[in-house]
Amino acid sequence: MARAPIQVRRVDESTTEAFCDLWSRARSCGDQGSDAGGRRVTVELVRAALGRPDLVGFLATSDGATVGYAVLTDTTMSAFAEGTSVAVDQIFVLPEARRSGVARALMGAVATYADRRGAEQVVCNVPATGKDANRFFARMGFAPLVVRRVISTAALHRKLAGAAEGHRSSLEQVLARRRVARGRATGHRLASH
Please compute the mean of the pLDDT values over residues 37-66 and round it to a whole number. Answer: 81
Please compute the mean of the pLDDT values over residues 17-29 and round it to a whole number. Answer: 84
Predicted pLDDT at 71: 94
* Helix ranges (DSSP H) in 118-169: 131-139, 153-164
Contact 36, 71 (CB under 8 A): no
**pLDDT above 90 for 17:** no
CA distances from 91 to 38, 75, 162, 178 (A): 16, 17, 38, 44
Q: Is 82 exposed, middle or buried (0-12, 13-18, 19+ CB in 10 A)?
A: exposed
Contact 61, 19 (CB under 8 A): no
Instruction: Return the higher-pLDDT residue of 123 and 186.
Output: 123
**pLDDT above 80 for 82:** no
**pLDDT above 90 for 8:** yes
CA distances from 25 to 14, 72, 113 (A): 19, 19, 25
Is the pTM here over 0.75, yes or no? no
Confidence of residue 167 (pLDDT cuts 50, 70, 90): low
CA distances from 185 to 20, 171, 172, 175, 189 (A): 63, 21, 20, 15, 6
**In which element (H, E) is residue 114 found?**
helix 102-117
